[in-house]
Amino acid sequence: MKPEPSPADTLRKVTRIAKVNGMIVVFPTSCLCGLVAALFGDWRSALIGFLVAAAGWSEWHGAKLLKRGEVRGIGWLVRSQLYLLGLILLYALWQMASYNPALVRSLITPDIAQTYESAGVDIQDVVRIAYYALYGTLAVLTLFYQGGLALFYRRRTAVVKTALAGGNAIAASGPAGQL
């Protein structure tokens, strides 16, 4: 059986995960998508992208607080995941509620429509099901990922507090836990 990691090791792991995850959410994911959406004049998607970036920034900020030895950083990590979870769930529900069959009809070329018709399949039904499946899957995955990460951080709060009370803030940025 594997021994329990030390509080300092747990602090390093939590800080490393938070920093990496926060940076992934901020830069390649949300800021890039927000900027591209803004360039195309899609202000709703741009706003969502920048709100998601705020979640990544708050997780990254929490990691920096922990690195400096501030226990309140763990709260930032948990809240960033819950905020992102809520934001993505609202976005998925918003998309589902605003499904536009007229837009779908305008995007289907006659060749595609004929192909599906010859197979006896209603293309509108296929697209509608795929649309709802996409956003439903997004909602379920975010429940597991963001919810799981919030739980991961929350369950390590006491150990992180112990590590920081023991003066292990420096250890979080040492060679074993490069940030």
Domain boundaries in the chain? 7-177
Give the mean model confidence (pLDDT) for residues 130-143: 95
Summarize the confidence of residues 131-150 as an average pLDDT: 96
User: pLDDT-based confidence at 156, cuts 50/70/90?
Assistant: very high
Q: For 67-88, how does the pLDDT look when each residue is reduced to its tens digit (9 = 90+)? A: 999 999 999 999 999 999 999 9
> What is the number of alpha carbons within 13 Å of residue 15 lying toward its C-beta?
33
Supply the mean pLDDT for the chain: 89
Cα three-residue angle 163-11-156, rounded to 5 degrees: 85
